[in-house]
Amino acid sequence: MLPVERLLFVFLANILVVVTLLFYQATASSSGQNERYYTQVGTAGGNSFPPAFKVLEGSSIRCSIWCWQTPRCLGFYWTVSSMLCQLFNASVYYWKPSWGAIADQQSEFYMYNATPQRLHFFNCSQISAAYSAFCTRAMDNNTNTHFFDGGSCIHTNNEIKPWWEADLAQTAVIVYATIYNRIDMSPERLNNFEILVDNVFCGRVNVTQHFVVTNVTCGLTGSKVRLVSQLTEHLTMCEFEPYGFYIQ
């Protein structure tokens, strides 16, 4: 095709993608299915696009529908030169910083709900409880960081590698977690710990100066989230907020 024809083709294809997505969003809402709305998040540059878990051949419209219908698809990459449709899962988060725009490459990324959503826990447990400061206090939506005044922080006994864990309502990609420390006393107790998702390591905090609130990046998929301290100490924590995407 001539450059002008290519441009026109890409332009029309994009309009169709948008119309299709709006149509699917409308039908999904009215039929009560999970909504999936894709946002264009970048232009591919060179070899820096993320690894796809499924590659199909077809138009950009079909690509958006395939992603829509495929569990675990959080986004897709489509390029006019090959008509290849590449579906992505959570791995896109690791690659995002390396995406770069190349003006003459007609390739596009779309990603579902590009901003991670607050996820919610159901059941929880912890190694032991002191002062009746049970595990639910780290998931009660109350981020008060004063143990006695707030009554909203967990507290274990003095243990070797004390832990806290909770289950998500559904399997999710946990992109990051925001963790609130106890600050009225002994903030150093919440340090040198690991976050595990379904028993797989996904993040660590080991700092020289204690934190009040911190984000731990993760990126794994699962439903059981565990925080394990590497210290022999009491474990105290005031809230554990997971952010990411439910994937079913």
Ligand X SMILES: *[C@@H]1O[C@H](CO)[C@@H](O)[C@H](O)[C@H]1NC(C)=O
Which residues contact ligand X (rule: CB under 6 A)?
A: 51, 53, 72, 89-91, 120, 122-123, 140-141, 167, 169, 178, 192, 206, 213-215, 221, 230
Question: What residues contact residue 98 under an 8 Å CB cut-off, 6+ apart?
Answer: 48
For residue 181, the minimal CB distance to ligand X (Å) is 11
Q: Decide whether 13 or 119 has the Cβ nearer to ligand X.
A: 119
Q: Which residues of 187-197 are buried (b: 16+ CB within 10 A; e: fewer)?
A: bebbbebbbbb
Yes or no: say if 127 and 163 are a contact pair by the CB < 8 Å rule. Answer: yes
For residue 109, the minimal CB distance to ligand X (Å) is 15
Q: Decide whether 80 or 155 has the Cβ nearer to ligand X.
A: 155
Q: Pick from 88, 242, 112, 96: which is nearest to 172 by CA?
A: 242
For residue 123, the minimal CB distance to ligand X (Å) is 4
For residue 111, the minimal CB distance to ligand X (Å) is 14
Q: Decide whether 79 or 91 has the Cβ nearer to ligand X.
A: 91
116: which 2 tokens? 């991670």
Q: Decide whether 20 or 38 has the Cβ nearer to ligand X.
A: 38
52: which 2 tokens? 């796809």
